[in-house]
Amino acid sequence: MATTKKVGYAVVGLGRIAARAVLPAFRHSRLAKLVAVVSGDGKKAAQFAAQFGASDYYTYQDYALCLGHPGVEAVFIATTNSTHADFTFRAAAAGKHVLCEKPMATTVDDGASMIEACRTAKVRLMVAYRKYLEPGSRALKTMVARGKLGRLKIIHTAFTIVLPEKGKSAAWHLDRTVAGGGSLVDLGVYSVNTSRWLAGTEPMEARAYAWTSDPDRFSQVEESIAFQLLFPGGLVVQGSSSFAAAEASFIQVHGEKGWAALDPAFAYNQERRLFGAIGGKWFEERFKVMDEFALELDEFAECIRRRREPEANGYEGLRDIAVMEAIYRAAREARPVPIPGSRI
């Protein structure tokens, strides 16, 4: 294990999220250091290593060499969804800790295997849920946990973007085998995970409806989907996601004593507003744009150094996969679908 104070990372996968958010975040990190980058394109890997200050770079074919690097203690996996499991298995086998982009995997079986692989290897596994760390979301969580809103009754939430046309966006988003789904797994996962996190309980049943205005383009994955999740105690979550509507995101929580909304809720480059009314009294607070990815890197580094389990652990990622599988089944079969129990 490296003896430097900062945890050495390799970033695996150099697509949009890595280029725009993950790699720049190392410049703002207190506890993490970029050691290596890994890509399917050797020239791109070399370019990114020079641009972001990584000492080493590798192709996917040389991933084993990266995992053998003494300065790499953890990997940040930002590859296509269907490859998360394999890159995790190999990292765990090499004794490297894993911070994996969401969705953690494309199937419950793969997610469960990732958890077991990391458990067996005694390495940490964290899923990249920024909301657990971002101040606006944490303020909302604290409000709910302290009972300020009273017993929760309704959560409304959505995340939408316009997916650029062919040639301007990654084609794998439209391939079910590679992506695992459409707007739900890319965007709706934020609504699913944040709702579960805020509620502090697991949903029991899913209902859903998927649609598209461009069936030729969205022949394998859904363009838009609306879903309903039923929680214990009478809480109902109404969620939606789309690849065909202007970028927006929000989560609005209604309780017996008041309501609160975070808007925008999920984008990482927009100022947030937390507002609502409790007992008829209005409140509002603003949260400036900050580097949420640096928070992730530092949180995982601290978990490694202090040998503690991340809050956004593999189990949280696994539960979201199970919920999304139920949502997809409910949409396909046009009926309510029960969600497996809290332990899969």
User: Are both 280 and 306 inside the same structural domain?
Assistant: no
Count of C-beta atoms within a 10 Å radius of residue 340: 14
Going by C-alpha positions, the residue among 315, 287, 323, 307 that lies closest to residue 133 is 287
Which CATH number characterizes residue 83's domain?
3.40.50.720
Model pTM above 0.85: yes
| Same domain membership, residue 272 and residue 139 | yes
Provide the pLDDT confidence category of residue 5 given band limits of 50, 70 and 90.
confident
Look-up of token digits 């008829």: 280
**Cα Rg, the chain, nearest whole Å:** 20
Out of 102, 131, 141, 315, which one is annotated catalytic?
A: 102
| Residues 6+ positions from 160 with CB-CB distance below 8 Å | 183, 187, 240, 241, 242, 243, 244, 245, 246, 247, 248, 249
Helix (H), strand (E) at residue 246: strand 244-255
| Predicted pLDDT of residue 167 | 64
The reply to whether 235 and 205 lie within a common domain is yes
Residue 74's Cβ-side half-sphere holds a number of Cα atoms within 13 Å equal to 29
Give burial (CB, 10 Å; 0-12/13-18/19+) of 94: middle
Amino acid sitting at position 75: V
Q: Which residues pair with 337 in a beta bridge?
A: 206
With pLDDT > 70 as the criterion, what percentage of the chain qualifies? 97
On whether residue 343 sits in a domain, the answer given is: no
If pLDDT is split at 50, 70 and 90, which confidence band does 208 have?
A: very high
pLDDT of amino acid 123:
98
> Can you name the residues that pair with 239 across neighbouring β-strands?
157, 227
For residue 41, pLDDT beyond 50: yes
What sign for the dihedral angle of Cα 319, 324, 327, 329? Answer: negative
Please say if 190 is a catalytic residue. Answer: yes
- Total tally of structural domains belonging to the chain: 2
Q: Is residue 64 located within the same domain as residue 143?
A: no
Q: Which of 132, 190, 315, 328 is catalytic?
A: 190
Beta bridge partners of 254: 154, 259
User: pLDDT tens digits, residue range 181-198?
Assistant: 999 999 999 999 999 999
19 contact partners, CB below 8 Å, separation of at least 6: 48
| Size of the chain, expressed as the number of residues it contains | 344
Q: Structural domain of residue 256, as residue ranges?
A: 134-289+321-338
Pair (78, 113) in one structural domain: yes
Q: Is 102 a catalytic residue?
A: yes
